Amino acid sequence: MSAVIHASGLTKRFGSKFALDGVNLDVQPGRIVGLIGPNGAGKTTALKAMLGLTPFDGTLEVLGRDPFRERHELMQDVCFIADVAVLPRWIKVGEVIEYVASVHPRFDRSQCKAVLSKTQVGMKQRVRELSKGMVVQLHLAIVMAIDARLLVLDEPTLGLDILYRKRFYEQLLNDYFDGERTILITTHQVEEIEHLLTDLIFIKDGKIVLNTSMEDVAARYHQVLVPADRMEAARAMKPLTERRQLGRTVCLFGGNSEAELAELGEIHPVSVADLFVAYMEGGQP
């Protein structure tokens, strides 16, 4: 099966600084992928390259197309929600829907209205009258009504309260994702999306430092609550990180068997946030 996104030696430089430094990755169809990294790591540049918004060096194919040279054709199959509203503030919701219906051949007007009927967004409201959360709901309704193969979300719930964030991801998972579409998400709120993800990519200083499935994360990485008298043995096994918690030390390991870790202390699952901190602080498996 052909990759939805294929990158080989993907590079983007601004002056002497590498925003992307030889990135290699493949994203398969029907996956929900988290692209996670700190500010300035290269996430936004990677998304711009995938969406045909910036030239690049190396190889990059999205749905089998060069996104920069074939952007018009590519965007028939790709939808994008950014962290900032891009709709004119004077336009009415109904007018937005009619405009999209007139320019996108695979937009389903009735489906969009059906999605919005479950919200407080009214057809006669102007964008300036909507809260930030309602604007995001409008964006999502439009996207969900387009028969696209790839959805790219760049900090889609930034600035929203917890209720709007929860509803956004529930709607995305229950009403949009069908096991065939592919979703790529960048966010700083990793705790809220880790239950959605099938795959995880960490990017740091323009380089991919982790690219794996969530199944592999669960199988490979463990945290152990280690008492003081077992710390020497724990450190001999080279944990990725260690931190103090309630008088004991929590060590994060990658690649060790549960049997050998059980001799050190209580084993606990690893969250994406904990794993992210370990990699950003220099830990390697």
pLDDT of residue 246: 75
Predicted confidence at residue 285, as pLDDT, reads: 47
Task: Give yes or no for a contact between 57 and 12, defined as CB atoms under 8 angstroms apart.
Answer: yes
Which residue stretches of the chain have pLDDT < 50? 285
Task: Put residue 119 in one of left, alpha, beta given phi > 0 → left and psi -120 to 50 → alpha.
Answer: beta
The residues, ordered by sequence, that sit 6+ positions from 27 with a Cβ below 8 Å of its Cβ are 3, 4, 5, 6, 33, 182, 184, 199
DSSP state, 270?
P
Tell me the chain's radius of gyration from C-alpha atoms.
Answer: 21
Cβ-contact 94, 42 below 8 angstroms: no
Strands (DSSP E) contained in the chain are 5-14, 17-27, 32-36, 57-62, 78-81, 150-154, 182-186, 199-204, 207-213, 221-226, 241-245, 248-254, 266-268
Q: Where are the domains of the chain?
A: 5-205, 216-280
Q: Write out the two tokens for 1.
A: 């099966």
Q: Which amino acid is at 111?
A: Q
3-state secondary structure of 127: helix
Residues 169 and 161: beta-carbon distance below 8 Å: no
Continuous segment of H or E residues that includes residue 192: helix 190-193
User: How many other CB atoms are found less than 10 A from the CB of residue 193?
Assistant: 24
Give the CA diameter of the chain.
70
CB-CB contact of 168 with 155 (8 Å)? no
CATH 3.40.50.300 fits 5-205, yes or no: yes
Q: How far apart are CA 95 and CA 91, in angstroms?
A: 6
